[in-house]
Structure 1
Amino acid sequence: MYRRVVRALPPWLAHALRAQRGPVPWSAVGRGALAAGPLLCAAVLLERPSAGVVAAIAAMLAGINDRPGSRRAAVRRLGVPALAGAAGLLIGTYAGQHAGATAQTLLLTGLGLAAGSVSAVGPVASAAGTQLLVASAVGAGMPLPEPGWQRALAFLAGAGWLLVLRLLLPTPGAPAGDHRHGGERQAVADVYDAVADLLDAVATEHATARRAALTAALDHAQDALTGPRLRRYASSAAERRLRAQYAAALPLAEAATALAWAGERHCGRASAGPRRLAAAVRGNTHSGPLPAPSRSLPALRALDDALLHAAEAFDRGKGGDPPRRRRTAGDLLRAVLGAGGREYGLRVALCMGAGVALAQALRHAQWYGPHEHWYWLPATVVFLVKPDLGPLVSRVLCRAAGTVLGALLFAGCAAVLPRPEGLVALVAVSGALIPVATRHFAAQTAVVTVLVLALVMAGGEPQASAGRIGETLLACAIVLVVGHLPLPGQHGGRVRARLAVAGRAAQAYLAHVLSGSDDRAARWTLRREAYRALAEARGTIALAAAELPALARHTAGADEVAGTLERLVDTTTACAVHLDDTGRLTPRHTERLAALAGELRAGRRRLGLRESELPAAV
């Protein structure tokens, strides 16, 4: 009943009511309980509560980024934003001490432009930009006795403590008891299961969704395996084995995709081999004999060959390295200076500048009363302007509701809890709840509000629930206005930028396949990049489609173009497998490629894209 009601609502409202599902991440809950609370407790015992507040804020921000995955991926996901946050705290502190209100406004506006543009690079860059801006606002406005460099060190200590917990604490239920590689092993096993699921769905209505799930599993495993090596010698054998197992899954994924494209039914035992390989990865055992599928089709012959290759890789523990993302300096610069980076950077700068200017004006307005926490307004704006957290109106509704709920909860707790023991306990409980609350922006906001208000009071300031609500409502108004302002260029720059990246990746993959090259490793790398770019474009398009009609209309038709690109990459994969088997393409392949090229040209015209932005592959 609830799902039917949500589906009947407008997209911009339905999104605000949806929450992610899944098992409770108990290991992250434990880390959250051991992070901010103990840091604050240690600082209070050492009579340095203000340093403990900074460290706890850093641990809280790191906890928001502490998502499921491997330890090596966590180093980049937690460490890079922490470094950016420390830099922002240092910049903000010295700006607050040595610059006037106007200079602070201009400086933070410029930081917003730079951080917003860099955020277009990817999720880690987006988190780094967010922490840079939040910490710079906190540094400029929070009254702390420590100098800037000590605040930055305290910030790094807080984030670093959570990262140490992430690296050292065992993961409950890790496959085969391998706590060091639990995340990597689970991710690789999920890839083989996703291959089997796609094979089971061939010639059914579920094939497209299963292929998308396979792409997501491959993306997750690739991220899990391509981070920094944490143990150069002790874990090298296990790491080599996992990397070989992931690399062996790539030809299996290719063959399964080609079989789904052909849409011809096959014997049910085709998926039995990948299922056994998934179990072998989880159990850290050899694969044993694998059932051979029929060899009646080129794709089935490719699947049989890929299974033989995988069995050899599992037995020997040797194989190729997993493909890495092909991100050159030119690609990163294109993302920062492209349409998506420019649009988002400009909106972040406007929101940040308006938030700082309004906060400074209220700070010096006699009629407004005391305004010690003026930095709350720009810091809240930074979170609200992030499209990663959902469509604009959904973010605003969730932020307002979550802040009101969190402020009321804290007011009730503050009235009965002893100080400072009760506040420390409240910070610990809130830190433990963050990994669960990140499934919905309103829940995350409520938990973060309780934690922040507890930190403020632990630092020696009075209860500030009412002020927190007021600052949040002002921030919501700023972001709503700026989000609908007509700016230079086109609305939907992020969508167009993602589609352009996906189009170039699809073109490169197709050109490699049609060139007749025998370099299969390069082909699998290009295929991975094409599907990954398409998945990122799909996610951005889905968020844009859930905006208010006034904004959603600017990206109308983008989903159809992304679907055409996906069909082009699927067809390219089928062409690659068929060329391997016969050395030539059938009329069905060539006609399909020509038809998709025509669809891309039409989609490009509808979206107003240039040929350099979305090539019509032939």
Structure 2
Amino acid sequence: MFPRSTIAVRTLPTLPPWLAHTLRAQRGPVPWSAVVRGALAAGPLLLTAVLVGHTSLGVVAAIAAMLAGINDRPGSRRTAVRRLGAPALAGAAGVLVGTYAGDHAGAVVLTLVLTVLGLLAGGMSAIGPVASGGGTQLLVAAAIGAGMPLPDSGWARALAFLAGAGWLIVLRLALPTPGAPAGDFRFDGERAAVAAVYEAVASLLDAAGTEHATARRAALTAALDQAQDALAGPRLRRYASSAAERRLHAQYAAALPLAEAATALAWAGEPLDGRAAEGPRRLAAAVRESAATGPLPAPARSAPALRALDDALLQAAHAFDQDGGSDLHTRRRSARDLLRTAFGAGGREYGLRVALCFGASAAIAQALHHSHWYGQHTHWYWLPATAVFLVKPDLGPLVSRVLCRAAGTVLGALLFAGFAAVLPHPQGLVALVAVCGALIPVSTRHFAAQTAVVTLLVLSLVMVVGEPQASVGRIGETLLACALVLIVGHLPMPGERGGHVRARLASAAGAAHAYLEHVLDGPDGSGDRAARWTLRRDAYRALSEARAAIALSAAELPALARHTEGTDEVAALLERLVDTVTAAAVHLDDTGRLDHRHSDRLTELLGELAVHRERVGLPTGVTGLAVAV
């Protein structure tokens, strides 16, 4: 099994999790490709619209390009079509509904419409990252459509919104990536993702028998998840559309038995000779350079897992010369599963909080809009649009989101006040929009930085469309939205708190159960291994999603974090169970039977999970399989 890591004694006081998360920023190289796309998106769209006399539609298109830019992350091109396109479609629908509701409904009916949209979008956001992006854009666009005073019809605004996001998608598909092989940049994202899997396999083999093995196995899971997503994008035809793509599919499929063997070797806890990791590293280089593998060093065949590793290397070398791929990368979820997630415990809690925040902020904003205090400002939609970003738990813990949003808005508004005083109108503002578009891909590393850049961009668009400079109002409405979301975030809701975390954990337990049952009861043979590798991927991916949800919940304020205490222990048990099942599967392939080490460990883990079954809703079958072991 994986060795337990030692606990270092800290001599300095540590920051509380909620504050540490607020100060933490992502690291990595500057995504220059995304920076170029951002510079060519919102600014040029707005400039074109100004030149042809349709400034208001250019503002809508620039907003859509900005929202798409926030979702423009590294990955394959065709995955980006879904990641950017699906939220854009939801945003266009939001613009359409919001515009017609704002034009034809009174304040009360409009608030009810926005509240219902919040309920639907919140539940939808629990499905996954793409659905969450769609829910965000649906609500933000609905608020803008209802509140932004533009002369255009709802259909014209919706088409402008689609055009803005579509332009960024065109840039994403058409522009080559710096450093990509000459003349072939179509699959650079897929190629990098598959190469990262082989590198992660090599790193796990290097870490076998050390305290770093658990972290390296988690890194391998993340690499496999990214490769799975990269290869799952839309295709020109039902099957892979070119020999290069089919080869990448085959190379990904060949990495699955390597990952399985490496996990089994790390579970055994014995150090390996450096020769074992050399083969996967050469395979990674071959994928990255789209070249032949050359001779691969064979590891010793002294144990079942080492024999499995050697066999997997031979199969991978053969696969690298083939054009035939498979669909092992495809993660299939039925419409029923998606609806169960959206309307399950996690989706209901999510939806209720989003609906309450969005509806209440819209009602307060409209009341202030008609009051003397609000003055002549007409941008009441800022308050509900701000609340949407603040209430989204997938953007970070609640207090972290609030602190970062407040700090970023103040900084962005103050910077804009200075720029607005010296820049020529509208040329200087259009240039500022282009600069902000280029900065968005870098600013997404920290929510406060992203908020500052978005504030600059949005205030520029507001002035271009003819509204007065509104930095002070923007700060005030953001602070009001922060207070509202903090209150709603701590209100009791129907059902048990932490429903999203428990739903993710129960899903992971179900996937682990399916994997365990297949290994113990399924027939042996290579024809069955494809199904086993798919089940293994599902189990590890579900565990990764549960871990992410648990980490976010643990970084909340103590009043909220206490509702999910102990879930990290259950996730760790499930991870050890899946690791053990993987090692047992490799041993069964070689010997046809379980040894006492595997069966005893499985029985022990299943017994520990039985203690937690009622608390987190684990399927009964997970603990019931102890008898089968």
Is the TM value for this pair above 0.5? yes
- Shift of residue 523 of structure 1? 0.6
Preserved contact between residue 244 and residue 321 of structure 1 (Cα < 8 Å): no
Specify the alignment match of 1:156 in structure 2: 162
- Shift of residue 462 of structure 1? 0.8
The structure-2 alpha-carbon separation of the partners of 1:474 and 1:617, relative to structure 1 and needing over 3 Å to count, comes to farther
Amino acid at match of 1:567: R
- Shift of residue 230 of structure 1? 4.8
Secondary structure class of the residue paired with 1:435: helix
The structure-2 alpha-carbon separation of the partners of 1:346 and 1:406, relative to structure 1 and needing over 3 Å to count, comes to same
Specify the alignment match of 2:306 in structure 1: 300
Q: Figure out how many residues of one structure are paired with residues of the other and give that number.
A: 614
Preserved contact between residue 27 and residue 171 of structure 1 (Cα < 8 Å): yes
The structure-2 alpha-carbon separation of the partners of 1:562 and 1:100, relative to structure 1 and needing over 3 Å to count, comes to same
Report the Cα distance in structure 1 between the residues aligned to 2:312 and 2:209, rounded to whole angstroms.
21
1:403 aligned onto 2:409? yes
- Shift of residue 603 of structure 1? 2.3
- Shift of residue 383 of structure 1? 0.4
- Shift of residue 333 of structure 1? 1.5
Specify the alignment match of 1:123 in structure 2: 129
2:66 maps to which of 60, 69, 85: 60
The structure-2 alpha-carbon separation of the partners of 1:437 and 1:506, relative to structure 1 and needing over 3 Å to count, comes to same
Specify the alignment match of 2:283 in structure 1: 277
**Runs (5+) with no aligned partner, structure 1:** none
Amino acid at match of 2:617: L
Specify the alignment match of 2:89 in structure 1: 83
The structure-2 alpha-carbon separation of the partners of 1:584 and 1:399, relative to structure 1 and needing over 3 Å to count, comes to same
The structure-2 alpha-carbon separation of the partners of 1:541 and 1:608, relative to structure 1 and needing over 3 Å to count, comes to closer
Amino acid at match of 1:120: A
Preserved contact between residue 219 and residue 532 of structure 1 (Cα < 8 Å): yes
Specify the alignment match of 1:384 in structure 2: 390
Secondary structure class of the residue paired with 1:121: coil
Q: Deviations over 1:55-105 (max 9, x none)?
A: 000000000000000001000000000000000000000000000000000
Q: Deviations over 1:188-235 (max 9, x none)?
A: 100000000000000000000000000000000110011112589996
Amino acid at match of 1:574: A
Report the Cα distance in structure 2 between the residues aligned to 1:414 and 1:465, rounded to whole angstroms.
10
**Runs (5+) with no aligned partner, structure 2:** 1-9
How many percent of aligned residue pairs carry the same amino acid?
A: 77
Specify the alignment match of 2:549 in structure 1: 540
Amino acid at match of 1:530: A
The structure-2 alpha-carbon separation of the partners of 1:136 and 1:613, relative to structure 1 and needing over 3 Å to count, comes to farther
Alignment of 1:5-404 (within 5 A): 8-175=14-181, 178-230=184-236, 236-404=242-410
Preserved contact between residue 250 and residue 322 of structure 2 (Cα < 8 Å): no
- Shift of residue 516 of structure 1? 3.0
- Shift of residue 410 of structure 1? 0.4
Q: Deviations over 1:393-437 (max 9, x none)?
A: 000000000000000000000000001110000000000000000
Secondary structure class of the residue paired with 1:368: coil
- Shift of residue 323 of structure 1? 2.8
More displaced 10-residue stretch of structure 1: 266-275 or 426-435 = 266-275
Specify the alignment match of 1:416 in structure 2: 422
Secondary structure class of the residue paired with 2:320: helix
Specify the alignment match of 1:498 in structure 2: 504
Report the Cα distance in structure 2 between the residues aligned to 1:301 and 1:597, rounded to whole angstroms.
28
Specify the alignment match of 1:562 in structure 2: 571
Q: TM-score, normalised by structure 2?
A: 0.95
Specify the alignment match of 1:609 in structure 2: 617
- Shift of residue 613 of structure 1? 10
More displaced 10-residue stretch of structure 1: 350-359 or 261-270 = 261-270
1:580 aligned onto 2:589? yes
Amino acid at match of 1:101: A
Specify the alignment match of 2:444 in structure 1: 438
Secondary structure class of the residue paired with 2:298: coil
Report the Cα distance in structure 2 between the residues aligned to 1:522 and 1:291, rounded to whole angstroms.
29
Preserved contact between residue 505 and residue 616 of structure 2 (Cα < 8 Å): no
Alignment of 1:417-566 (within 5 A): 417-517=423-523, 518=525, 519-566=528-575
Report the Cα distance in structure 2 between the residues aligned to 1:5 and 1:427, rounded to whole angstroms.
47
The structure-2 alpha-carbon separation of the partners of 1:611 and 1:182, relative to structure 1 and needing over 3 Å to count, comes to closer
Report the Cα distance in structure 2 between the residues aligned to 1:377 and 1:67, rounded to whole angstroms.
27
More displaced 10-residue stretch of structure 1: 195-204 or 508-517 = 508-517
Preserved contact between residue 606 and residue 622 of structure 2 (Cα < 8 Å): no
Amino acid at match of 1:565: L
- Shift of residue 322 of structure 1? 3.1
More displaced 10-residue stretch of structure 1: 361-370 or 14-23 = 361-370
Report the Cα distance in structure 2 between the residues aligned to 1:451 and 1:316, rounded to whole angstroms.
49
Preserved contact between residue 245 and residue 317 of structure 1 (Cα < 8 Å): no
Preserved contact between residue 402 and residue 442 of structure 1 (Cα < 8 Å): yes
Report the Cα distance in structure 2 between the residues aligned to 1:367 and 1:64, rounded to whole angstroms.
34
Report the Cα distance in structure 1 between the residues aligned to 2:93 and 2:314, rounded to whole angstroms.
51
Amino acid at match of 1:520: R
- Shift of residue 371 of structure 1? 3.5
The structure-2 alpha-carbon separation of the partners of 1:191 and 1:586, relative to structure 1 and needing over 3 Å to count, comes to same
Report the Cα distance in structure 2 between the residues aligned to 1:14 and 1:175, rounded to whole angstroms.
40
Report the Cα distance in structure 2 between the residues aligned to 1:598 and 1:26, rounded to whole angstroms.
51
Report the Cα distance in structure 2 between the residues aligned to 1:330 and 1:64, rounded to whole angstroms.
29
Preserved contact between residue 207 and residue 271 of structure 2 (Cα < 8 Å): no
The structure-2 alpha-carbon separation of the partners of 1:175 and 1:564, relative to structure 1 and needing over 3 Å to count, comes to farther
Q: TM-score, normalised by structure 1?
A: 0.97
Report the Cα distance in structure 1 between the residues aligned to 2:380 and 2:401, rounded to whole angstroms.
21
Specify the alignment match of 2:7 in structure 1: none
- Shift of residue 360 of structure 1? 1.1
- Shift of residue 368 of structure 1? 3.5
Q: Deviations over 1:228-252 (max 9, x none)?
A: 1258999611000111101000000
The structure-2 alpha-carbon separation of the partners of 1:100 and 1:612, relative to structure 1 and needing over 3 Å to count, comes to farther
Report the Cα distance in structure 1 between the residues aligned to 2:373 and 2:54, rounded to whole angstroms.
34
Report the Cα distance in structure 2 between the residues aligned to 1:592 and 1:176, rounded to whole angstroms.
51
- Shift of residue 265 of structure 1? 2.4
Preserved contact between residue 453 and residue 465 of structure 1 (Cα < 8 Å): yes
More displaced 10-residue stretch of structure 1: 328-337 or 199-208 = 328-337
The structure-2 alpha-carbon separation of the partners of 1:357 and 1:524, relative to structure 1 and needing over 3 Å to count, comes to same
What value does the CA root-mean-square deviation take over the aligned residues? 1.6
The structure-2 alpha-carbon separation of the partners of 1:471 and 1:186, relative to structure 1 and needing over 3 Å to count, comes to same
Secondary structure class of the residue paired with 1:316: coil
